[in-house]
Amino acid sequence: MRVVILALTLALVASQHVNLAPEFAAGKTHVYKYEALILGGLPEEGLARAGVKIISKVLISAVADKTYLLKLEDPEILEYSGFWPKASFVPAPKLTSALAEQLRTPIKFEYTNGVVGKLSAPAEVSETVLNIHRGILNILQLNIKKTQNVYELQEAGSQGVCKTHYVIGEDTRAERIHLTKTKDLNNCQERIMKDFGLAYTEKCVECQQRGRALRGAASYNYIMKPTPSGALIMEATVAELHQFAPFNEMTEAAQMEAKQTLTFIEIKQSPTAPIKAQYLQRGSIQYELSTEILQSPLELLKITNPQAQAVEVLNHLITSNAAEVHEDAPLKFLQLIHILRRASFENIEAIWTQFKAKPAYRMWILDAVPSIGSPVAVRFIKERFLAGDITVPETAQALVAAVHMVSADRETVKIFESLVFHDKIQKLPVLREIVMLGYGTQVNKYCVAFPNCPAELVKPIHDLAVEAAAKDNFEELSRALKVLGNAGHPASIKPITKLLPVVGTAADKLPLKVQEDAILALRNIAKRDPKMVQDLAVQLFMDKNLHPELRMLACVVLFETKPPMGLVTTLANILRTEENLQVASFTYSHMKSLTRSTAPDYAPVAAACNVAVKILSNKFERLGYRYSKAMHLDAYYSPLRVGAAATAWYINDAATILPKSFVAKARSYFAGAAADVLEVGVRTEGIQEAL
């Protein structure tokens, strides 16, 4: 009965709805009190938390048809840093005054029937400031249906396009409309998020199905006053919570909570005037990830003169660590990195010129520069080496660090490409090896960030491989194949196939080592295009005229693509008539070890291998260790979403006592991601002859 009464009541309210979309009258300014809080850390009392609070007046007025102006008046920024809940919010002088100044800049936005459209702002307004405005406009985003009071939809907001649930009620006595909406931030078509520091990892979808590491939700409560032309928002409160539990959601997790309140003050009878500047299109209500500066996990610094402040920190590092390492050295080194990230290329060059004659200063500068993480770091290393300011060992150390620390973008890739073909680098084998392999790594990192990366990025290496093959320069050809393996771009499959002993190629003339490198170069490509690599690997494995070592490597590549049941069964049927016991022992041992896998991403492969081993009926069980073997061992603890795996294989030859080659690889699982953390290999050719 109560359900029926509630339904009738809601239907009655729906019938009375005329227009509940917020309305801002032309020629007037709506003034609100605004307060926002972002707080992060662990939720228990007595643990450290950090956050920022913004208090301001918000002015909204119409400037044209369906175009409005949003301005913050007298913004105040407070920061929280301490042990929750004992510490308090205090003024934040370390946040630059430029931020507060930009917050006062009006922005324009399109607004129709409660839906926020495109945003416009002057070019000097940073993405960080614009994102604060997006957070305010997100409160105004209301998709109100006139004929329904309870409904769901996919709604665009600052967090992305997410599933949103609306409930609308009416207080007739107070002449107020109560509206509540909730957002499931785990159910988004276009969730705005970015993974940091995961360039070398793969997303483990199967691990995430057993519990997500990142979860979030948001709730919005409105009190609105109906008017003939629309609704007036009297009060709006927003609570948003994001929880990161890398191990287990049942245990405590790090949280980031955001709270906003918007309270109506008054309506001024005059509009707010826009500033005299050129307004540019700056996207939509959706949050834009800022790329202005790479952030460091340390206290915010007020940086006014990067060059002078960097010199000050350098002097402190030198004097404090002359006799022994001081306890504050790590913090000061992080501060130096943070300052150099705000410094211009000219600032860094000026610091280098001032201290390059002092060995202690050289060491600290060259250690810090790669950690800047931007193309500025690679450009500095390149120009200082070409100018003769840094030695080959210093350049090698700096480049190795830069390969892994610098974020990959087109500029970084281009700098590495220019180094690959520079005459001075080509004359130094050590640096050329680092630069070439680093170039492949940078392409891989760039393609992880931008999946539609163009094939032109690897074309210079394709051309290098063709030239090396034409000149029978097999050492250079192997190096080029390793670069293509590092890059892992699907466009490299065709040129690599030309170096493999398959139908229609002249690869039989190439040394066995080159053919092996060509097969192993397919492993990273398989992460992006497993189907094409599977077809090629099966073709190689089935060719019984090939060298056994090539067939075994094809088996390794095939299982790294996580083949389906049908493909694994095909391999088992091939093994039933296999005459080469080295190949048979290697493949069978690989299958059998995979049957014991507990890693979520290998579960289908383990099931397929279990069937394949039963088909073979332990036919190759008695083959001893003088035959080639492959082993896989892993352990995965589902409640904590952590695990580790180890794979090793050795390839034997009946003519030798020692294995021809041995390779071992370690893999880790953490927070729904997987990464190959280590791989080592040894070839023993020639050792037995020497003995």
52 lies in a domain? yes
For 140-193, how does the pLDDT look when each residue is reduced to its tens digit (9 = 90+)?
999 988 888 899 999 999 999 999 999 999 888 888 999 999 999 988 888 887
- CA distances, 394 to each of 319, 346, 367, 383, 403 (Å): 23, 21, 10, 13, 14
Classify the phi-psi angles of 114: left when phi > 0, otherwise alpha if psi is within -120 to 50, otherwise beta: left
For residue 524, being part of any structural domain is answered with: no
Distance, CA of 398 to CA of 401 (rounded, Å): 5
Q: In the beta sheet, which residues pair with residue 644?
A: 635, 668
User: Are the CB atoms for 95 and 78 separated by under 8 Å?
Assistant: no
Name the residue among 660, 683, 585 with its Cα closest to residue 628.
585
- pLDDT at 86 (0 to 100): 75
> Does a structural domain hold residue 252?
yes
State the pLDDT at residue 299: 57
Q: Determine the average pLDDT of the residues in 443-472.
A: 91
Confidence category of residue 136, pLDDT binned at 50, 70, 90: very high
Average pLDDT over residues 562-581: 90
Structural domain count, the chain: 1
Query: CA separation (Å) from 310 to 357, 475, 647, 681?
Result: 17, 44, 46, 42
Residue 87 maps to a domain = yes
Angstrom distance (rounded) from CA 605 to CA 591: 9
pLDDT attached to residue 657: 62
pTM to 2 decimals?
A: 0.79
Block residue for tokens 């520091």 = 197
- Classify burial at 182, counting beta carbons within 10 Å of its beta carbon; exposed 0-12, middle 13-18, buried 19 or more: middle
136 assigned to some structural domain: yes
Can you list the alpha helix ranges (DSSP code H) found in 275-422?
306-320, 329-342, 345-355, 359-368, 375-386, 392-405, 410-420
Number of Cβ atoms within 10 Å of the Cβ of 16: 12
The whole-chain average pLDDT of the chain stands at 86
Is 32 within the bounds of a domain? yes
CATH number at residue 178: 2.30.230.10
Chain Cα centroid distance, residue 607:
31
Residue 479 lies in a domain: no
Q: What is the pLDDT of residues 109-130, one digit of tens each?
A: 999 989 999 999 998 888 888 9
Question: How many CB atoms neighbour CB 60 within 10 A?
Answer: 23
Question: Model confidence over 203-239: pLDDT tens digits?
Answer: 777 776 655 677 889 999 999 998 888 889 999 999 9
**Per-residue model confidence as pLDDT tens digits over 539-558:** 999 998 899 999 999 999 99
Q: What is the pLDDT of residue 77?
A: 85
Asked if the structure places residue 326 within a domain, the reply is no
Interstrand relation of 115-122 and 107-112 (parallel, antiparallel or unpaired): antiparallel
| Res 311: pLDDT | 93
Q: What is the DSSP letter of 546?
A: S
Distance separating alpha carbons of residues 185 and 155, to the nearest angstrom: 11
Task: Say how many C-beta atoms besides its own lie within 10 A of residue 574's C-beta.
Answer: 16
Does pLDDT of 296 surpass 90? no
Residue-level pLDDT at 346: 94
AA letter at 91: P
Q: What's the confidence (pLDDT) of residue 208?
A: 67
Rounded Cα gap, residues 394 and 269, in angstroms? 67
Rounded alpha-carbon distances, angstroms, from residue 450 to 283, 410, 489, 626, 640:
19, 10, 12, 46, 30
pLDDT of the residue at 2 = 46
* Residue 260 contacts residue 52 (beta carbons within 8 Å): no
For residue 154, what are the domain limits? 2-193+205-281
